[in-house]
Amino acid sequence: MNDYLPVLFMALFGVLFATAALGVSALLGQRGRQNRVKNTPYECGMPIESHAHARFSVKFYIVAMLFILFDVEVVFMYPWAVSFGNSDFARDAFPGTGLLLAEAAAFVVVLFLGWVYVVKKGVLEWHQEA
Amino acid sequence: MNPLLAQLTAAETDGWWAGFQAFFVAPENAWAVSLLLVLIVGKTIPGMVSLLVWVERRGAALLQDRLGPNRVGPFGILQSIADLVKFIFKEDVLPGHVNKPIFLLAPALAVIPPLVVLSFIPWGANVAIADVDTGILACFAFSSLHVYSVSLGGWASNSKYPLLGGVRAAAQMISYEIALGLSALSVFVIAGTLRLHDVVMFQTDGLTIAGTTYDALWARILDWNLFKQPLGAIIFLIAGFAETNRHPFDMPEAESELAAGYHTEFSSMKFALFFLGEYAAMIVMSSLFIVMYLGGWTFFGVENLLTDWVAEYGAANPGWINWPLIVEAHLHVGIFLGKLAFLLWFFIWVRWSLPRFRYDQLMSIGWKRLLPASLLWFALTAVGVALVR
């Protein structure tokens, strides 16, 4: 855990830096008058139309779900990659290089089939109405 | 030994100077060295960013045949300092319609993750703030936190265009993260380690083809992962551009469609922090690319010029700070910064040369081109490694 202590230092430095920057600006910044127009959302000077939290395409949620599926699988492949790339481990390991490769192949094929399904379903077609 | 250094170390064998050296050499005080490095890196990054902003503006002017900032200082080099002063003294607008805590949290979150990731980067053989064995995974874990600043910034603004910008940015960043992770994966298949220091060393140990290790200059050049992983490197670079919201993937702040995207409602220092975060993320991406594909701090043997001197001095002066080691660290960091300067210029060069993609093009490049291409490359790499072994 000692290896990660400097990371904590850096995170603390980041927090202090951000706080100081925001604090300096709040303390030294020009004080302007508040008025109703200034407090409205910025829409390039046009009168505001409709509520800010309008509905947006459901595609964004689908992309988020796909991200979770695919990214978790990518993370699962990292331990495999390191064990496979480490020649000592791959030679001495029980399954041997061939089986290690076959296991990864099965995993990647399933991932790829999932990707084909997603594409065929038209999930990634952004010009169509959802 | 260098006479100046001999004088420096022989001058006082006791007193505060000896105590000072003994303090930094003692293994239990390694935290102090780390803290010093944290301060150096943390203080350098904002300076580097302000220089980078100036280079970007002058570079844009150069490429577009106009003048760029040229009023403040010679060649306008102090422009960023003037901008900083202005950021500090401008009115700190906190609009009434925003969600205040999150509105203030978002700019802070833009700066902290890139800074934390920089603590994992090996700047030189002995210059890394934290040389951890999870290496690249830790980098990805922290750099993906950047998406929170963008999406929370857009959401907390309670305003139409920032919300759309934030949502777009979130979808874009997570989409390209998959291609980024997959293309990087192939590097670790051939390197067999996640520790970034070892990945750099892997690119300098000479090229091994069919059991024979070649050590000539051509082999040293081809030993860079850029040449062993050409497609992976290109995918990583493209995904890196998208991940940092840079042109041609800067949809989150497409001015013509979204005002200024997720940071429309932010002013003064809050805006400056978003800006700093974007450029710091660029530095992070470039550094990761250098470490993984461009041989890190090494340059075909130049990095080893001082090794003998360091060893000699270390043997002659046990219990002292190894000053030649610090000189060597400067050499390594210098090489690293040279590569970094080139890559950062590449970012700027691309920004002012290419037009922006449309949003549907952007998503289909990420999901339909880069993802299968990186999967294919991963499969090829794995089979290749198995065959070569």
| Contact A14/B at CB under 8 A | yes
Ordered per-residue pLDDT tens for chain B, 389 residues = 555 555 555 555 567 777 787 788 877 888 888 888 899 999 999 999 999 999 999 999 999 899 888 888 888 889 888 988 888 888 888 887 888 899 999 999 999 999 999 999 999 988 888 888 888 999 999 998 989 998 898 888 888 888 888 888 888 888 899 999 999 999 999 888 899 999 999 888 877 776 777 878 888 888 899 999 999 999 999 999 998 888 788 877 766 667 777 888 888 888 899 889 999 999 999 999 999 999 889 998 888 888 889 888 888 877 778 888 889 999 999 999 999 999 999 999 998 888 888 888 888 898 999 999 999 999 999 988 888 77
Q: What is the pLDDT of residue B340?
A: 95
Long-range contacts of B222-229 (CB under 8 A, 24+ apart): B223/B295, B224/B293, B224/B294, B224/B295, B225/B187, B225/B190, B225/B191, B225/B199, B225/B292, B225/B293, B225/B294, B225/B295, B226/B293, B226/B294, B228/B190, B229/B186, B229/B187, B229/B190, B229/B293, B229/B377, B229/B381
Residue of A nearest to B132 (CA): A3
Residue of A nearest to B108 (CA): A18
A-B Cβ pairs (cutoff 8 Å, strict): 229
For residue B175, which residues of chain A lie inside 8 Å, CB to CB? 63, 67
Contacts (Cβ under 8 Å, ≥6 apart) of B214: B206, B207, B208
- Encode pLDDT of A39-80 as tens digits: 777 777 777 777 777 788 888 888 899 999 898 888 889 988
Chain B interface test: which of A12, A74, A92 (most B C-beta within 10 Å): A74
The pTM for the full model equals 0.91
Q: What is the pLDDT of residue B178?
A: 92
* Contact check, Cβ <8 Å, A75/B181: yes
* Contact check, Cβ <8 Å, B129/A127: no
**% helix, strand, coil for chain B, step of 5:** 70, 0, 25
* Contact check, Cβ <8 Å, B159/A64: no
Distance CA A50, CA B257 (A): 17
Distances from the Cα of B79 to the Cα of B58, B72, B76, B228, B312, angstroms: 11, 5, 5, 42, 46
Chain A interface test: which of B38, B43, B102 (most A C-beta within 10 Å): B38
Secondary structure (3-state) at B214:
strand
For residue A21, which residues of chain B lie inside 8 Å, CB to CB? 111, 269, 272-273
Chain B interface test: which of A1, A3, A38, A42 (most B C-beta within 10 Å): A42
Shortest CA gap A44–chain B (Å): 7
What's at A111, amino acid-wise? L
Judge whether B316 and B1 are in contact, CB under 8 Å.
yes
Residue A130 pLDDT grade (very low, low, confident, very high; cuts 50, 70, 90): very low
* Contact check, Cβ <8 Å, B193/A82: yes
Shortest CA gap A5–chain B (Å): 8
Shortest CA gap A92–chain B (Å): 13
For chain A, first and last CA: distance in Å?
A: 48
Query: Is B74 exposed, middle or buried, given 0-12, 13-18 or 19+ CB atoms closer than 10 A?
Result: exposed
Chain A interface test: which of B269, B273, B369 (most A C-beta within 10 Å): B269
Judge whether B187 and B292 are in contact, CB under 8 Å.
yes
Token output for B232: 């992976």
Token output for B388: 């070569």
Closest to B233 measured CA to CA, from B59, B370, B31 = B370
Distance CA B20, CA B323 (A): 13
Shortest CA gap A128–chain B (Å): 10
- Encode pLDDT of A8-45 as tens digits: 999 999 999 999 998 998 888 888 787 877 777 777 77
Closest to B292 measured CA to CA, from B173, B189, B141, B142 = B189
Chain A interface test: which of B186, B371, B383, B387 (most A C-beta within 10 Å): B371
Distances from the Cα of B12 to the Cα of B1, B17, B318, angstroms: 17, 7, 15
Query: Out of A13, A71, A82, whose CB is closest to B115?
Result: A13
For residue A15, which residues of chain B lie inside 8 Å, CB to CB? 108, 112
Residue of A nearest to B120 (CA): A7
What residues does each domain of chain B span? 98-388
Distance CA B44, CA B48 (A): 6
For residue A3, which residues of chain B lie inside 8 Å, CB to CB? 130-133
What residues does each domain of chain A span? 1-29, 58-130
For residue B272, which residues of chain A lie inside 8 Å, CB to CB? 21
- Encode pLDDT of A76-118 as tens digits: 899 888 888 887 766 666 667 778 888 889 999 999 999 999 9
**pLDDT over 70 percentage in chain A:** 91
Residue of A nearest to B136 (CA): A78
Q: What is the pLDDT of residue B241?
A: 93
Shortest CA gap B140–chain A (Å): 10
For residue A61, which residues of chain B lie inside 8 Å, CB to CB? none
Query: Out of B88, B160, B259, whose CB is closest to A28?
Result: B88
Strand segments, DSSP code E, in chain B are 207-209, 212-214
Closest to B23 measured CA to CA, from B32, B15, B14 = B32
Shortest CA gap A45–chain B (Å): 11
Main-chain phi, psi angles of A20, to 5 degrees:
-65, -45
